[in-house]
């Protein structure tokens, strides 16, 4: 019987620009290797105080729209109490309150059950960190 719980930590290069990075293929690959034919849950977690996980459409401009909306809600200026790092970096520490650092998704017969246009994405507005860690965990 396969393990009921399997986890993997991966490093994602995000560069020095704000980014919405599609993790869907990585999640699907993890499930093919660890949960073939099984039902359960995939938990995606970023252990960072300045990044989040979103389930959104990508490739049609929604990822850029998300970054634009975050700029409107969380401007990169000097209003923030948290002041180390790049100018406006304090807003990056507020990001996880709006884009949580985790998502739990259904897995049916070893496949991620997303809607037609949904993708699992890492949202990173912190330009001071060029790479992020993502923990993928399957429970089933």
Q: Which residues contact 118 (CB under 8 A, 6 or more apart)?
A: 55, 56, 57
Cα 70 from Cα 78, distance rounded (Å): 16
pLDDT in tens, 72-112: 999 989 888 887 888 888 999 999 999 999 999 999 999 99
pLDDT band at residue 1, thresholds of 50, 70 and 90? Answer: low
Domains of the chain: 5-139 (2.60.120.460)
Query: What percentage of residues in the chain have a pLDDT greater than 90?
Result: 83
pLDDT digits 0-9 by tens, 19-45: 999 999 999 999 999 999 999 999 999
Task: Write down the residue that tokens 């890492």 correspond to.
Answer: 122
Average of pLDDT values for 58-66?
93
Query: Model's pTM, two decimal places?
Result: 0.94
Q: Tell me the C-alpha distance between 126 and 131, whole Å.
A: 10
């Amino acid at each position: 019987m396969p393990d009921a719980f399997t986890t993997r930590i991966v490093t994602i290069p995000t560069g020095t620009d704000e980014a919405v990075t599609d993790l869907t293929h990585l999640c699907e690959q993890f499930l093919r290797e660890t949960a073939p034919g099984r039902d359960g849950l995939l938990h995606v977690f970023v252990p960072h105080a300045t990044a989040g996980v979103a389930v959104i459409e990508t490739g049609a401009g929604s990822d850029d729209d998300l970054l634009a909306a975050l700029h409107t809600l969380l401007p990169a200026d000097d209003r923030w109490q948290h002041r180390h790092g790049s100018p406006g970096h304090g807003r990056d520490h507020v990001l996880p309150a709006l884009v949580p650092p985790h998502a739990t998704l259904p897995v049916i017969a070893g496949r991620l059950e997303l809607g037609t246009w949904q993708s699992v994405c890492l949202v990173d507005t912190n330009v001071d960190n060029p790479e992020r860690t993502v923990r993928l965990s399957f429970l089933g």
